[in-house]
Amino acid sequence: MDKRRILLLGSTGSIGIQTLDVVSCHPESFEIAGLAAGSDFNTLAEQAVATGAEYLGLADTSAAGKLRDRFPDARVFAGADGLVEMVSAVEPDLVVGAISGFAGLPSVLAALEAGINVALANKEPLVAAGALVMETARRSGAEVIPIDSELSAIFQCIEGECKAAITRILLTASGGPFATLPAEQLAEVTPEQALAHPNWKMGRKVTIDSATLANKGFEIFEVRWLFGVSFEQVQVVVHHQSIIHSLVEFCDTSVIAQLGWPDMRVPIQYALSYPQRLPAPLKPLDLAAAGPFTFAEPDAEKFPCLRLARQAAQAGAGYPVVLTGADEAAVQLFLAGRIRFTDIPVFVERALEAHDGTPADNLQDIQRLNDWAYEYVSEMRSNR
Ligand SMILES: NC(=O)c1ccc[n+]([C@@H]2O[C@H](COP(=O)([O-])OP(=O)(O)OC[C@H]3O[C@@H](n4cnc5c(N)ncnc54)[C@H](OP(=O)(O)O)[C@@H]3O)[C@@H](O)[C@H]2O)c1
């Protein structure tokens, strides 16, 4: 395959660092043209030296100033708008969208508008703005290639299949660190406990979302928008081992699954090399060692975030935007020790109830509604 020039947005995070690992294993196939992150100057500077990237960006403008001093020959972009400008300045073959939270949406949209393919890890763009993201891609002819392991699994299962023949998507969930904890003990769990995911090492926001199952709710949106199925066709199945990354059922009752070790470098690499495959430096899957495999229904009462996501999906009309803004604020409050774990869904539900149902279809309205939900929850007080 021709060498691909990559713009890596969110380079200092868990997905970003693993993307650089994949790129360094295949220097003949990939080259890092640009790196961008939030405020972590030190990590970004190290990555700039290691990759020789000519375009650098930080959302934090004072940290971006330090980048200018340190790399006088690089083109440096500063602030949220700077990261959007960076996309068209770099003109990469592929943008990797690995910024966490809602902040990743504008640059992903800018890439798709410019007709640039996006390998997407960041969930919030498809939750808050799924119709806008996919319509933007359709108009320009750009592709959205999923990085998330479950989404990548589905993407691989339907490759070459007729989409009209899909009857159900079976989205697997590890269940998170509290799958077996009695519900009455959930109120006392600490951020440290919630951050200790049994199978995956990820950024803080997505790890807490995995513990509340909000993450699985977000993936229902991702499946709906990426693969054009209805929300009702997406069924969540708890599979603690995280070896079966998801399954697709077809009209003849055949079910196709994708399996692999829980290692994000595999779906990242597939998104970078798609439609080709490259070797990966992992031991082959050993089914006997990885099993036995278990499957169960999620506990929707114990984990209300899953129910809230489905309600927001069915309601439409801006509710999915409120879901992302409210969840982001509630997770921050929990990580700061200001609310209990069980307050997260309570706060999100209050924000959903407070929304007046006004739709948000363009970036400006979506941004405004997300900010409103974020502020609404940030100002709430816990009963603790
Ligand atoms: N990690 C996984 O295994 C995994 C799996 C599936 C999907 N995802 C999704 O992928 C995304 C990234 O996850 P992650 O685990 O890599 O998160 P992470 O480790 O927290 O990294 C987040 C990245 O986003 C950057 N960032 C944060 N706020 C920003 C802003 N306002 N503007 C620009 N950049 C900003 C951070 O920069 P600083 O370091 O400078 O703050 C960092 O580079 C999330 O949406 C997550 O849901 C992750």
Ligand 1 binding pocket includes 135 (Cβ within 6 Å):
no
Residues 78-119: pLDDT tens digits? 999 999 999 999 999 999 999 999 999 999 999 999 999 999
Q: Which atom number of ligand 1 is nearest to the Cα of residue 16?
A: 16
Distance (angstroms) between ligand 1 centre and the Cα of 37 equals: 8
CA-to-CA separations, 307 to 35, 301, 302, in angstroms, rounded: 37, 8, 10
Residue 17 has pLDDT above 90, yes or no: yes
Distance (angstroms) between ligand 1 centre and the Cα of 13 equals: 5
Ligand 1 binding pocket includes 121 (Cβ within 6 Å):
yes
Residue 200 has pLDDT above 80, yes or no: no
Distance (angstroms) between ligand 1 centre and the Cα of 98 equals: 5
Edge-to-edge strands, sheet with 144-146: 75-78, 55-58, 30-37, 4-9, 94-97, 117-120, 144-146
Ligand 1 binding pocket includes 103 (Cβ within 6 Å):
yes
Residue 219 has pLDDT above 70, yes or no: yes
Give the CA diameter of the chain.
62
Distance (angstroms) between ligand 1 centre and the Cα of 375 equals: 21
In the chain, the domains with their CATH numbers are: 4-146 (3.40.50.720), 160-262+289-378 (1.10.1740.10)
Ligand 1 binding pocket includes 12 (Cβ within 6 Å):
yes
Q: Take residue 124 and report the two structure tokens written for it.
A: 């919030």
Ligand 1 binding pocket includes 82 (Cβ within 6 Å):
no
Ligand 1 binding pocket includes 84 (Cβ within 6 Å):
no
Residues 239-254: pLDDT tens digits? 999 999 999 999 999 9
Residue 348 has pLDDT above 60, yes or no: yes
Look up the pTM and report it. Answer: 0.97
